[in-house]
Amino acid sequence: MKWFVYSNKYVVDFGNHPFRTTKYRGVYEKLVKEGTLREDEVLEPDMITLDELLIVHTREYIEDLRNLRITKRTAYSEIPLNKEILELFLLACNGTYKASLLALENGYAFHCGGGFHHAYEDHAEGFCYLNDIAYAIRKINLKTLVIDLDVHQGNGTAHIFRSDSNVFTFSMHQEWLYPIPKEKSSLDIGLEENIDDEEYLKILIDALDNIFKKFSPEFIIYVAGADVYYDDMLANLSLTIEGIKKRDEIVIKSAYERKIPIVVVLAGGYSRKFEDLVKIHSNTAKVLKEVFL
């Protein structure tokens, strides 16, 4: 059974940048080496066209990207704009969509990529040009819960679905951190600096309990950012590797127990030690498979 979406083409050069796309290959290779993942369980994304993104993004913005133009719509990004990087985002959009289809078929799927939640319908932001989460939601057209636990608020996703009652956006993030000002998600929980495992997990459990009391999703997208880690270079929370693994268990079990298909996307992670970053993301994949099997 295929449950893992990945492409070697996800590894591109962002230049001297804290976002290391080599993490994707690192996670894939670690899981294969440890026996969690077999080659026949992997599905590769397809290269889609920019026009297919018009279900999310405006034509003016798409034309800027097509022509690799630096404009008021593309200049908000903090990464270069070139053909190779743009193709990463096109592949990632299809990757999250393909993973969503696998999850609908089998109950769960892991996209070793994606989670580009800062991209708005009409402009780039952060390290994000195209919003793969929004693209997948629009394609599958189901009542969807986005559980965004990246350390940065999922501002682009929140804005895109701000008037869509079919999509519940939940973002739990560090409050006094990019983006400032923030968008309004269906539910935002802004955390103070240095919050530890115990306090974080209690807040998360309570939030999920409350969400499921008032919203009954047909599908869940879990944005499993690794940047809540205490040794992350771009944030100031204090979660341990074990605490993040417990976070993943709580989210994934909440889907499994309710029989709601779930797809996991990776989003950010900027730990000082590369091996820590790979371990955190790999643990998420292992938890996903363990819970469902």
Planar angle of CA 16, 22, 27, nearest 5 degrees: 150
Res 17 pLDDT > 90? no
Q: What residue ranges in 129-218 does DSSP mark as E strands? A: 144-148, 167-174, 187-191
Segment holding 265, helix H or strand E: strand 262-265
The reported pLDDT for the residue numbered 76 is 87
Both tokens assigned to 280: 């955190």
Q: What is the DSSP annotation of 15-82?
A: SS-S--THHHHHHHHHHHHHTS--GGGEEPPP---GGGGGGTS-HHHHHHHHTT--STTTTTBSS---
Closest CA to 186 of 147, 152, 219: 147
Chain-centroid distance of CA 243 in Å reads: 19
The reported pLDDT for the residue numbered 199 is 98
Amino acid making up residue 233: M
Specify the pTM.
Answer: 0.97
**Do 9 and 88 meet the contact criterion of CB atoms below 8 Å apart?**
yes
Residue range 4-292 forms a domain whose CATH class is alpha beta
| Alpha carbons 131 and 93: distance in angstroms, whole number | 7
> Each residue of 147-203: pLDDT tens digit?
999 999 999 999 999 999 999 999 999 999 999 999 999 999 999 999 999 999 999
Q: H-type helices in 73-188, by residue range? A: 83-106, 132-140, 155-160
Q: Tell me the average pLDDT across 123-152.
A: 98
Q: Tell me the average pLDDT across 128-138.
A: 98
- Express as a percent the part of the chain with pLDDT over 70: 100
**How large is the C-alpha radius of gyration of the chain?**
17
The reported pLDDT for the residue numbered 93 is 98
Domain ranges of the chain: 4-292
> Each residue of 147-158: pLDDT tens digit?
999 999 999 999
Between β-strands 108-111 and 167-174, what pairing exists: parallel, antiparallel or unpaired? unpaired
Q: Tell me the average pLDDT across 232-255.
A: 97
Q: Tell me the average pLDDT across 16-35.
A: 96
For the chain, the average pLDDT equals 97
Q: Residue 15 — pLDDT band, cuts 50, 70, 90?
A: confident
